[in-house]
Amino acid sequence: MSKADVMACLSSLRQHQHRGQRSPHKPLLVLLALGQLTTTDSSALDWSTTADRLAELIRDYGPPSTAGPTQRAAYPFTRLRSDKIWTLNHDVPMDRVQPLATNRVVGQLTPALEDALRDPDIAAAAARLLVDAEFPPTIAPDVLMAVGLDPDTILTTAHQTDKPRQRRRSWTVAILTAWNRQCAFCGFDGQLGAATVGVEAAHIRWFTFDGPDDPDNGLALCSLHHKLFDHGALGLDNDLRITVSSNFTSRTDTGQSVYGLHRRPLRPRPGTTPPAATHIHWHTREVFKGPALTS
């Protein structure tokens, strides 16, 4: 397979997306197989040793779900076969956990794809394509690290693929200005000389999921709270109050200060466009790791 063939077949994984619903299960499995290939020269993944790891990846980087973690791992492990890039050494039914365990099933990228991905340039471009399609820049490095790939190599512009939409710098400036160049959650407003440092414009509905560069889809957030918001540790409710996930834990007073944000109202300055309910709803449905703290 040529590089173009690899990119085309991995791009088609994205077509399973439906109405802004995140479904990173298959891309996460391909990334895990790619990490395995990079470190062991084979993409073979034994279900018995992969299930927990894949389940953790989906739990940590996928949308919230009520399905059991192992069940969520069985979905891509069996269904990626239909994309013609993944094989199993036993013909087991789709989605079922038990036959995967009973038959000691091993999954592997198809030989042609695996062979192409042994080229480091193709592997890096493929990984970049998958993370760019599914995750914002705050999360992409964490995903790559979690699957055993090197973010510093992959997230260089050399491996950036064509983007149908380019981020508008003017949107970033407008959001930072509208929110007084301070974190809408904690008020952090650090400057180094005249330059704002550690405060970023954050999309509420992710740019990668058709989040528009509109005033009502952005917040200025400090780097920490931007990351926690994109990971789903923090969210917003319909009354424009901050919510903290009950799954967020910390051992230190500094980390636990995040709890203090729960139910704190956003305080846009007069005239600032508040976040739109539709974008908050998307974030709550697709990103926030609910339930929120109860008090």
**Which stretches of the chain bind Zn ion, using CB under 5 A?**
183, 185-186, 188, 222, 225
Backbone angles phi, psi at 105, to 5 degrees: -70, 140
Shorter beta-carbon distance to Zn ion: residue 179 or 206: 179
* Smallest distance, Zn ion to C-beta of residue 133, A: 28
**Residue 177 CB, nearest approach to Zn ion (Å):** 17
Minimum CB distance to Zn ion smaller for 100 or for 204 = 204
Tell me whether residue 224 or residue 276 sits nearer to Zn ion (CB atom).
Answer: 224
CA distances from 53 to 148, 151, 162, 247 (A): 12, 19, 31, 18
Minimum CB distance to Zn ion, residue 193 (Å): 21
The nearer residue to Zn ion, 38 or 182, going by C-beta atoms, is: 182
Residue 150 or 189 with smaller CB distance to Zn ion: 189
Task: In whole angstroms, give the CA distance from residue 72 to residue 98.
Answer: 13
Locate 16 and state its tokens: 């399973």
Q: With CA atoms as reference, report the closest residue to 130 among 119, 121, 143.
A: 143
The phi and psi torsions of 184 (rounded to 5 degrees) equal -70, -15
Nearest distance from residue 19's CB to Zn ion, in Å? Answer: 31
Question: Each residue of 166-196: b (16+ CB within 10 Å) or e?
Answer: eeeeebbebbbebbbebbbbbebbeeeeeee
For residue 188, which phi and psi values (nearest 5 degrees)? -55, 135
Q: At closest approach, how far in Å is the CB of 183 from Zn ion?
A: 3
